[in-house]
Amino acid sequence: MNVVKVGLLGLGTVGGGTVNVLAKNSNDISRRTGCQVIVTKASARDITRPRICDTDGIKLTTNPDEIINDPDIQIVIELMGGEEPAKSLIIAALEQGKHVITANKALIANHGNELFAIATKNNVTLAYEAAIAGGIPIVKAMREGLSANSIEWLAGIINGTGNFILTEMRDKGSDFADVLKEAQELGYAEADPEYDVEGIDAAHKLCILASLAFGMPLNFEKVYTEGISKITPLDVTYAEELGYRIKHLGVARKTDAGVEMRVHPTLIPEKRLIANVDGVMNAVVVNGNAVGSTLYYGPGAGADATASAVVADIVDICRVLDVPSQHYVPALGFAPDKLQELPILSIENVTTAFYLRLSVKDKPGVMAAITTILADNGISIEAVQQKEPAKRGANAQVILLTDCVVEKSLLAALTDIESLDSINEPAIRIRVESLE
């Protein structure tokens, strides 16, 4: 049986999980590939600290170049995170004719176009299943399983931290800040949670998913990103009363005007399966013109879950080691020379429905003034609720659901509404997606 030697750049949670999964499932992996996969070397900043895996038989080093320059290693797995030195090490490995696997979504989103080109030039693979949604095989599904389809849109809960926070806010009625602290104590959120709660992590993943869906180069800088830090328990409650749940959603849609790529809080009808994805779990809905909507659900992080995706990439590479590179599945699912630059819509030109919450003085004529302004801007109202003030003289809360409207038209209407002397605070607005 052929022996395939693997080197790990990084031996933390995912690296240790990868070693464990390879050991635990070695028989099945060998049966699937016809190869014996062995991790021979691993690099880490500190090779003395305890590991979650058995390192017997693995040479540990603090110098990643030892792995890159080892002629016997055929597959390099980058699990270091960050842009440098990860990017330089990946390039060096590719240029030496080694296949590379990475879980580094930021690196792929920001530099994937360059890295894929280098891999193609050197007739090797740069695989990245683990970069998106942990153990969910969404890259495989979109590149291969849905290849008969023209993808029309996709929507995903692709950050477990944000989903945990919104779930806890709904279930416990807690404020954002309190749930964030809990998430940090449980290890779901970093000490600096910006990437998770402000949507940057999800935007990296959405950028890659959009390119897989529509056959276009990666355009991370054009993803609209909005976080969840301003979501209040009040809005979570009102959404529930209207039959919706608030999720931090990544949406990519191809329209006649261009491609939408956006991450933001979103009201989703509670009857949708994805609206019921709770806690730290991830899910992605992909709509194809032949199959319709398909849902992919599972753990978005964790040692074994992410390692499952890494090892799946190892299996795929082992199967093509002796196959000419022109027969490899393209990195983004489309032949590299067939990728198309597509116009990306600014958020102001995106059409969606909206949830609006207005704090108003409790006096006659307020609703009439609001609805008149909306009508003058071509905005129809789907539903309306007025919450009476808890005490005399307090503000009333007006809740509106609009029909679909171009965002710039809504913003124009809100400017006029907020200028009314009966409006006390800036409007709260959250986009609504039916996902039909």
Spatial CA neighbour of 344 closest among 157, 434, 208, 216:
216
Spatial CA neighbour of 51 closest among 19, 95, 7, 85:
19
Q: Residues 129-146, buried b or exposed e (16+ Cβ, 10 A)? A: bbbbbbbbbbbbbbbebb
What are the DSSP calls for 3-52, one per residue?
A: EEEEEEE--SHHHHHHHHHHHHTHHHHHHHHSEEEEEEEEE-S-SSS--S
> Taking phi first (over 0 means left), then psi (-120 to 50 degrees means alpha), and beta for anything else, what does residue 12 get?
beta
Identify the active-site residue in 41, 205, 247, 254.
Answer: 205
Interatomic CA distance for residues 25 and 10, integer angstroms: 21
Q: State which H helix or E strand residue 214 sits in.
A: helix 200-214
Interatomic CA distance for residues 337 and 402, integer angstroms: 42
Instruction: Tokens for 395, please give them.
Output: 């503000």
CB-based contact 70:98 (threshold 8 Å): no
Cα dihedral sign, 75-310-218-294: positive
Task: Tell me how far the alpha carbon of residue 124 is from its chain's centroid.
Answer: 26
Q: What is the DSSP letter of 142?
A: I
Residue 205: active-site member:
yes
Q: What is the DSSP letter of 12?
A: S
Strand partners, 383: 401
What is the three-class DSSP state of 396? strand
Spatial CA neighbour of 112 closest among 316, 314, 330:
330
Spatial CA neighbour of 245 closest among 257, 258, 255, 235:
235
Task: Tell me how far the alpha carbon of residue 40 is from its chain's centroid.
Answer: 32
Q: What is the DSSP letter of 344?
A: B
Q: State which H helix or E strand residue 244 sits in.
A: strand 244-254
- Four-point Cα dihedral 418, 419, 423, 425, nearest 10: 50
Interatomic CA distance for residues 40 and 60, integer angstroms: 9
Interatomic CA distance for residues 285 and 141, integer angstroms: 11
Among all residues, which ones are annotated catalytic?
A: 205
